[in-house]
């Protein structure tokens, strides 16, 4: 959730650290700090609030040195404050570190360290690590880090400076991501790849409990048993511009505009467009395995969970395989019934979500076949899934609110459904080909929709942005989409919002409808349109204002009921979420802008949720 950067090279560290932190600020942002070492001392500067506060403090008195570490914090233990901000140091100021994760046994360790005479200055769990290292260090930091790993419970990514070694940067991790960026005369560390892209594309992924020892001209990695291991860098081909705003006012709207390209890239990675068939190696099942599956359980959090709900509708419909969808934080503690013969799929944009990782481990323990769908190559979730990993090709997603990653997740749900259906013999090859062919039109339709609908959405938001609550309703796939529409509005505009299965409103929630309540009805599924429209009539007759989003061919029917009507191009039912999501994402964005919200960095949220 927090962001970490580290640098050792021949240039001044401060500007490089601040630049890296600015690219990570989306991960967490209630305080920030850096430590720079100049050979004789470790110099620190920290500031509560946004990174700019730190930048302002450093303006008059920059920290000098060519090795340093930096951090943006999302508070878990102790309020956001200068004192609680990282880096933290031992009492002598001779070891400094930044930490991402949670030390679960910090209370016990703190008590032991206090009894040994350590004086704590912060309320953080992190401070125990630096005092512990001080106690364990007797001239060999590698050994101290190894001993600390045996004592620390919980998760951590750490970057450590030691005054005794002015030319060495140490880093290590457990259950919290950390990557090392390699170059000839400088080495970089970050909790997330976008922070490195301006400097290098050769990236080394640290495994759990590995320790990297970085010098200006070398990187050496030790495995958990203390053996040096060979480097196996991956080359990151993400476009640097993909991690920059490129003229858009916010990452969120830029990333929505990147959706057609993300859809195309993800599609061609999985489908041979000459034969319009799924690539042989695209999905990790044999026909026999697909046929023998008893159930599929999809587990994820937030937006990724909503992609799983779409998956349930599409996979059950096409592949006739029973699908359960669960939020990861519930799945992991509910003693799930699962075993060999069951398939488990974790969905995660970042590939680092702590609850989703834990749920995967639980499913593996129970003997299920475990797969993952993620956007980040080499992420913890991808690595845990081994060969059974599917990728979305959305590129780096910087805005906290997930948009382009979500659309590619639902695209992958359709492709997975087609693969399973073909292998299980529940659809004919011609039917699959027709659906895949129709999918090739989706990026162009999405592009046209983006051009057509933005003005209407802005006008609408300027009329409705002061609403206190908004309901989203739909049936079938439209209900699944309504959940995501509602979450998007909540997280970026702070408007209270609920998603309801349209037929369920009258079982209680309709009591909340009063004159002027905004109800947004998604009506893309022709077979269910009349049913949803009768629910629209029910809320309108109680004074609600109805925004209806439907397909072009349903426009006439829906127009009679709607106070405001937006249309999306026609497509096969299973593909309509790929189009209907666009206006609702833009609506959330536009409402948030109209309300003056910090769209890309909504309050209290972080992009990557690496704590429970
Ligand atoms: O990285 P993940 O896909 O595992 O993240 C899951 C959720 O934390 C994430 O989707 C969250 O709900 C976003 N803020 C949604 O916009």
Nearest CA to ligand 1 atom 11: 302
- Does 610 have pLDDT greater than 80? no
Q: Is 453 a catalytic residue?
A: no
Enter the tokens of residue 350. Answer: 């970042």
Q: What is residue 379's predicted lDDT score, i.e. its pLDDT?
A: 87
Nearest CA to ligand 1 atom 4: 348
CA distance 227 to 69: 25
The pLDDT tens digits of the residues spanning 475-498 come to: 999 999 999 999 999 999 999 999
Q: What is residue 253's predicted lDDT score, i.e. its pLDDT?
A: 94
The pLDDT tens digits of the residues spanning 284-306 come to: 889 999 999 999 999 999 999 99
CA distance 160 to 170: 5
pLDDT top residue among 1 and 479:
479
CA of 128 to the centre of ligand 1 (A): 30
Mean pLDDT of 171-180: 91
- What's the mean pLDDT when you consider all of the chain? 92
Per residue in 413-441, is it b (16+ CB within 10 Å) or e — as a string?
bbbbbbbbbbbbebbeeeebeebbeebee
Q: Is 445 a catalytic residue?
A: no
Our mutation pick for probing the ligand 1 site, out of 609, 610, 611, 612, counting the most ligand atoms within 8 A of Cβ, is 609
- Does 609 have pLDDT greater than 80? no
The pLDDT tens digits of the residues spanning 459-475 come to: 999 888 888 899 999 99
56 prior amide bond cis, ω within 30: no
Pocket around ligand 1 at a 6 A CB cut-off: 301-304, 348-350, 353, 356, 400-402, 491, 605, 608-609
- Which is nearest to 411 in space by CA: 570, 556, 607, 265? 265
28 confidence band (pLDDT: 50, 70, 90): low
pLDDT top residue among 307 and 102:
307
Q: What is residue 601's predicted lDDT score, i.e. its pLDDT?
A: 84
Q: What is residue 26's predicted lDDT score, i.e. its pLDDT?
A: 63
The pLDDT tens digits of the residues spanning 203-247 come to: 998 988 999 999 999 999 999 998 999 998 988 877 666 667 777
27 confidence band (pLDDT: 50, 70, 90): low
Q: What is residue 323's predicted lDDT score, i.e. its pLDDT?
A: 97
Our mutation pick for probing the ligand 1 site, out of 193, 250, 302, counting the most ligand atoms within 8 A of Cβ, is 302
Q: What is residue 289's predicted lDDT score, i.e. its pLDDT?
A: 92
The pLDDT tens digits of the residues spanning 547-587 come to: 999 999 999 999 999 999 999 999 999 999 999 999 999 99
> Which entry of 423, 467, 490, 607 is annotated as an active-site residue?
607
Mean pLDDT of 366-391: 92
> Which entry of 2, 118, 171, 550 is annotated as an active-site residue?
2
Q: What is residue 241's predicted lDDT score, i.e. its pLDDT?
A: 64
Number of residues in the chain: 612
CA of 28 to the centre of ligand 1 (A): 14
Mean pLDDT of 314-336: 94
Which of 196-200, 240-244, 265-269 shows the lowest per-residue confidence on average (mean pLDDT)?
A: 240-244
Report the percent of the chain where pLDDT is more than 70.
97
Q: What is residue 272's predicted lDDT score, i.e. its pLDDT?
A: 96
Cβ neighbours, 10 Å, residue 187: 27
Strands (E), 152-243: 156-162, 169-174, 179-182, 187-190, 202-205, 211-215, 218-222, 228-229, 234-235
Nearest CA to ligand 1 atom 2: 348
């Amino acid at each position: 959730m927090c962001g970490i950067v580290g640098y050792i090279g021949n240039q001044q560290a401060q500007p490089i650290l601040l630049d890296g932190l600015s690219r990570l600020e989306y991960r967490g942002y209630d305080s920030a700090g850096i430590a720079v070492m100049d050979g004789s001392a470790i110099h620190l500067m920290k500031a509560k609030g946004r990174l700019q506060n730190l930048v302002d403090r450093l303006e008059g008195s920059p920290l000098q040195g060519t090795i340093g570490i930096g951090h943006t914090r999302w508070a878990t233990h102790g309020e956001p404050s200068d004192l609680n901000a990282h880096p933290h140091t031992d009492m002598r100021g001779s070891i400094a570190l930044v930490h991402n994760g949670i030390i679960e046994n910090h209370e016990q360790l703190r008590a032991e360290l206090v009894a040994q005479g350590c004086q704590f200055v912060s309320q953080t769990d992190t401070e125990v690590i630096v005092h512990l290292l001080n106690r364990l260090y007797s001239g060999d930091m590698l050994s101290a880090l190894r001993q600390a790993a045996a004592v620390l419970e919980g998760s951590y990514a750490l970057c450590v400076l030691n005054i005794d070694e002015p030319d060495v940067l140490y880093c290590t991790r457990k259950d919290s991501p950390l990557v090392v960026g390699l170059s000839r005369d400088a080495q970089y560390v970050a909790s997330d790849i976008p922070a490195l892209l301006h400097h290098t594309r050769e990236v080394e992924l640290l495994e759990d409990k590995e320790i990297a020892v970085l010098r200006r001209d070398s990187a050496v990695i030790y495995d958990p048993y203390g053996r040096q291991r060979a480097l196996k860098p991956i080359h990151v081909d993400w476009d640097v511009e993909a991690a920059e705003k490129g003229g858009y006012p916010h990452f969120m709207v830029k990333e929505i505009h990147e959706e057609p390209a993300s859809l195309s890239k993800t599609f061609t990675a999985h489908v041979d467009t000459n034969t319009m068939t799924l690539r042989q190696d695209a999905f990790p099942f044999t026909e026999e395995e697909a046929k023998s599956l008893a159930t599929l359980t999809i587990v994820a959090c937030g937006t990724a969970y909503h992609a799983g709900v779409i998956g349930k509708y599409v996979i059950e419909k096409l592949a006739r395989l029973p699908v359960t969808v669960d939020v990861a934080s519930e799945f992991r503690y509910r003693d799930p019934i699962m075993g060999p013969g069951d398939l488990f799929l974790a969905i995660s944009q970042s590939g680092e979500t702590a609850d989703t990782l834990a749920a995967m481990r639980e499913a593996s323990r129970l003997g299920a076949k475990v797969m993952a769908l993620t956007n980040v190559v080499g992420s913890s979730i991808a690595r845990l899934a081994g060969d059974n990993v599917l990728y979305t090709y959305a590129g780096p997603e910087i805005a906290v609110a997930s948009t382009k990653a979500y659309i590619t997740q639902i695209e992958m749900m359709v492709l997975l459904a087609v693969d399973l259906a073909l292998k299980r013999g529940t659809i004919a090859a011609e039917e699959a080909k027709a659906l895949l062919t129709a999918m090739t039109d989706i990026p162009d339709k999405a592009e046209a929709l983006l051009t057509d609908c933005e003005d209407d959405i802005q006008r609408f938001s300027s009329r409705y942005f002061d609403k206190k609550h908004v309901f989203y309703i739909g049936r079938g796939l439209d209900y699944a989409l309504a959940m995501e529409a509602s979450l998007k509005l909540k997280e970026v505009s702070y408007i209270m919002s609920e998603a309801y299965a349209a037929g369920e409103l009258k079982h209680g929630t309709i009591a909340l409808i009063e004159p002027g309540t905004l109800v947004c009805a998604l009506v893309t599924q022709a077979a269910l349109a009349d049913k949803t429209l009768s629910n629209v009539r029910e809320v309108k007759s109680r004074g609600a204002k109805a925004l209806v989003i439907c397909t072009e061919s349903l426009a006439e029917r829906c127009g009679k009921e709607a106070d405001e009507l937006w249309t999306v191009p026609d497509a096969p039912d299973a593909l309509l979420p790929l189009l209907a999501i666009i206006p609702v994402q833009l609506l959330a964005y536009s409402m948030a802008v109209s309300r003056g919200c910090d769209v890309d960095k909504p309050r209290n949220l972080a992009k990557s949720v690496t704590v429970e």
